[in-house]
């Protein structure tokens, strides 16, 4: 029986089965599963580049050895210590041999595996076999069986230990984000071949895949992963004939099995244990890739992929030591949930860009308009009116030093206040308001859109034009810094 014959439905264990299948070259498990445990240890317990000393009792000499440790961040989940006897030589303590982690799967009691249902010998789930559930209070709703501990058969336990090699991860300070793909086993295995292994980097400082930006919040990191993934898909498409799984992700082919899902687990490491904070799922690859392609079409530059990444990268602000990325988180979250990203864009512009005397980077307005048109279904004509009028308004306000009017616009709390501010603008800046903006429809809508959204987009265009006029030298900056 192949390891891929029977899925467990659990994304952690299923990923481990795929890794194990690849590691064993398609062969079934050997009778002594601990030989495989040792193979996995050898892959993930690696030399640190530092050397240590121990007392070799056979020769009565101090010898050196290469220190090893768990590859980051696997060590968060492995709490196995080797208590090596020590000796005191000339006042100094030495190990009597290099420490080695003693990991063993000791199958004992007979029972039913909580993951695959197999009857037979089982082992209690340990943190390193199933990192996200062992302490029920940390993730109680994820798997209800956790309250009494979990039983694992040899196959599932080994898969659990293997799964660390399947994740993509990012760290920001003490916050970690782990990403795992899931679908049917055969398809998941194919996805490794054609996608996941290409995203994984060998060196892993702060993460094991490259991203245009990162931060401490979940949605911005998920979004960064998608940008990376889509850039890869686009590259493959341009090289011709991506395989069927990739074509499924881009929407070029129908989904032919269980949908591909990304699970994102976010949490913090407090020095003792990992505390899970959030679990997100994403499976809307086709519509997101369509949007991604529209964005790139709209960006009239040589390298639209980079320009697009720069648009999202900019929504961060360095304050003293830390970089605050809350605006980016809110924008990414809105887009991933098909909601309105304008309020956090406006907040960033009025709170950060003004302080930095810097307009939004090239492409921001194009990206927003494309999104509003494609996803929120905002009328193209209205978008054009707002862009044109916002530009005029911001430029005039800059010329007459009337920034206060822009804040009044942004702060309008209801439709009456909004119309009142438009009236003031007309009077103070001597601008004619397009009558379409004054035509209020039932439900406080303007040209089919909620008045509030119209106001926010107008305020964004206006302040951006204001900043461009005031600080033209900053206007061409491409994206923020990481
Ligand atoms: Zn099992």
pLDDT digits (tens, 9 = 90+) for 74-114: 989 988 878 899 999 989 999 999 998 889 999 988 999 98
DSSP category for residue 207:
B
**CA 117 to ligand 1 center in whole angstroms:** 6
One domain for residues 88 and 157: yes
One domain for residues 15 and 160: yes
**CA 9 to ligand 1 center in whole angstroms:** 11
Token duo for residue 175: 């916050």
User: What does the pLDDT read at residue 1?
Assistant: 72
Q: Is the backbone of residue 277 left (phi > 0), alpha (psi -120 to 50) or beta?
A: alpha
- What are φ and ψ of residue 253, in 5° steps? -140, 150
Answer whether residue 344 is part of any domain: yes
**CA 40 to ligand 1 center in whole angstroms:** 18
**CA 457 to ligand 1 center in whole angstroms:** 54
Diameter over CA atoms, the chain: 95
**CA 80 to ligand 1 center in whole angstroms:** 23
Distance of CA 398 to the CA centre of its chain: 38
User: What does the pLDDT read at residue 475?
Assistant: 53
**CA 17 to ligand 1 center in whole angstroms:** 11
Who contacts 291 (Cβ-Cβ below 8 Å, separation ≥6)? 370, 371, 374, 375
One domain for residues 401 and 425: yes
**CA 152 to ligand 1 center in whole angstroms:** 5
Answer whether residue 333 is part of any domain: no
105, 92 contact by CB (below 8 A):
no
User: What does the pLDDT read at residue 204?
Assistant: 66
Q: Which of 67, 72, 24 is nearest to 44 (CA)?
A: 72
One domain for residues 412 and 351: yes
**Tell me: the pLDDT tens digits for 234-261?**
999 999 877 999 999 999 999 999 999 9
**CA 33 to ligand 1 center in whole angstroms:** 13
CA gap 303, 319 in Å, rounded: 30
Answer whether residue 218 is part of any domain: yes
Of the three residues 164, 191, 224, the one that is the final residue of a domain is 164
User: What does the pLDDT read at residue 143?
Assistant: 46
One domain for residues 236 and 106: no
Of the three residues 99, 131, 164, the one that is the final residue of a domain is 164
**HSE-CB for 85 with a 13 A CA cutoff:** 4
182, 188 contact by CB (below 8 A):
yes
Token duo for residue 452: 């509030």
Answer whether residue 263 is part of any domain: yes
**CA 11 to ligand 1 center in whole angstroms:** 13
Answer whether residue 102 is part of any domain: yes
Answer whether residue 330 is part of any domain: no
One domain for residues 146 and 175: no
CA gap 387, 404 in Å, rounded: 20
CA gap 472, 398 in Å, rounded: 12
176, 183 contact by CB (below 8 A):
no
CA gap 402, 179 in Å, rounded: 47
One domain for residues 96 and 207: no
**CA 24 to ligand 1 center in whole angstroms:** 18
**CA 101 to ligand 1 center in whole angstroms:** 24
**CA 353 to ligand 1 center in whole angstroms:** 54
Answer whether residue 34 is part of any domain: yes
**CA 143 to ligand 1 center in whole angstroms:** 15
Of the three residues 143, 164, 185, the one that is the final residue of a domain is 164
**CA 153 to ligand 1 center in whole angstroms:** 4
One domain for residues 346 and 247: no
Token duo for residue 74: 């696997």
**CA 156 to ligand 1 center in whole angstroms:** 4
Give ∠ CA 23-27-32 in degrees, rounded to 5. Answer: 85
Provide the pairing of β-strand 322-324 with 274-282. unpaired
One domain for residues 143 and 62: yes
**CA 35 to ligand 1 center in whole angstroms:** 18
Q: Quick one: CA torsion of 318, 323, 324, 327, rounded to 10 degrees?
A: 80
pTM of the model: 0.92
User: What does the pLDDT read at residue 79?
Assistant: 82
One domain for residues 399 and 462: yes
Answer whether residue 17 is part of any domain: yes
Q: Would you call 62 helix, strand, or coil by DSSP?
A: strand
CA gap 78, 38 in Å, rounded: 14
**CA 44 to ligand 1 center in whole angstroms:** 23
One domain for residues 160 and 174: no
**CA 348 to ligand 1 center in whole angstroms:** 49
| Residue numbers in the chain where pLDDT is lower than 70 | 133-148, 204, 474-482
Who contacts 24 (Cβ-Cβ below 8 Å, separation ≥6)? 3, 36
Domain that holds residue 16: 11-164
One domain for residues 173 and 250: yes
Token duo for residue 381: 């004509």
Provide the pairing of β-strand 151-152 with 123-124. antiparallel
CA gap 404, 397 in Å, rounded: 9
Determine how many CB atoms are found less than 10 A away from the CB of residue 389.
21
**CA 456 to ligand 1 center in whole angstroms:** 54
Domain count, the chain: 3
Provide the pairing of β-strand 449-450 with 123-124. unpaired
- What burial class does residue 183 get, using C-beta atoms within 10 Å of its C-beta: 0-12 exposed, 13-18 middle, 19+ buried? buried
178, 224 contact by CB (below 8 A):
no
């Amino acid at each position: 029986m192949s390891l891929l014959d029977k899925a467990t439905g659990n994304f952690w264990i299923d990923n481990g089965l795929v890794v194990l299948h690849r590691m064993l070259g398609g062969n079934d498990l050997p009778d002594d599963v601990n030989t495989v445990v040792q193979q996995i240890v050898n892959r993930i317990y690696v030399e640190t580049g530092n050397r240590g000393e121990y007392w070799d009792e056979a020769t009565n000499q101090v010898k050196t050895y290469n220190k090893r440790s768990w590859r980051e961040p696997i060590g968060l989940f492995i709490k196995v210590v080797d208590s090596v006897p020590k000796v005191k030589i000339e006042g100094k303590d030495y190990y009597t041999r290099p420490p080695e982690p003693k990991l063993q799967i000791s199958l004992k009691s007979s029972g039913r595996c909580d993951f695959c249902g197999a009857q037979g010998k089982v082992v209690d789930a340990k943190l390193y076999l199933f990192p996200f559930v062992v302490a029920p209070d940390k993730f109680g709703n994820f798997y209800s069986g956790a309250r009494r501990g979990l039983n694992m058969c040899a196959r599932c336990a080994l898969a659990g230990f293997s799964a660390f090699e399947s994740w993509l991860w990012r760290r920001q300070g003490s916050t970690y984000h782990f990403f795992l793909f899931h679908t049917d086993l055969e398809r998941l295995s194919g996805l490794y071949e054609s996608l996941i292994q290409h995203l994984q980097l060998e060196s892993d400082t702060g993460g094991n895949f490259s991203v245009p930006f990162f931060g401490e919040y979940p949605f911005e990191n998920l979004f960064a992963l998608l940008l990376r993934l889509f850039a890869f898909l686009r590259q493959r498409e341009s090289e011709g004939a991506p395989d069927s799984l990739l074509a499924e992700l881009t929407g070029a082919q129908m989904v032919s099995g269980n949908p591909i899902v990304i699970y994102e687990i976010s949490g913090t490491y407090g020095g003792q244990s990992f505390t899970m904070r959030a679990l997100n799922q994403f499976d809307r690859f086709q519509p997101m890739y369509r949007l991604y392609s529209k964005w790139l079409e709209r960006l009239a530059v040589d390298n639209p992929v980079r320009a697009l990444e720069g648009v999202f990268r900019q929504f961060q602000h360095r304050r003293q030591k830390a970089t605050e990325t809350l605006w980016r988180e809110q924008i990414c979250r809105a887009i991933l949930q098909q909601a309105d990203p304008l309020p956090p864009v406006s907040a960033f512009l009025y709170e950060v860009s003004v302080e930095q005397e810097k307009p939004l980077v090239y492409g921001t307005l194009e990206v927003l308009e494309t999104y509003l048109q494609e996803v929120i279904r905002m009328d193209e004509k209205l978008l054009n009116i707002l862009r044109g009028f916002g530009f005029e308004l911001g430029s005039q306000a800059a010329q007459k030093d009337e920034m206060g009017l822009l804040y009044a616009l942004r702060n309008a709390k209801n439709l009456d206040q909004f119309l009142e501010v438009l009236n003031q603008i007309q009077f103070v800046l001597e601008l004619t308001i397009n009558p379409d903006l004054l035509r209020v429809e039932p439900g406080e809508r303007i040209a089919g859109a909620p008045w509030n959204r119209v106001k926010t987009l107008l305020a964004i265009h206006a302040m951006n034009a204001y900043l461009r006029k005031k600080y033209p030298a900053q206007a061409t900056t491409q994206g923020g810094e990481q």
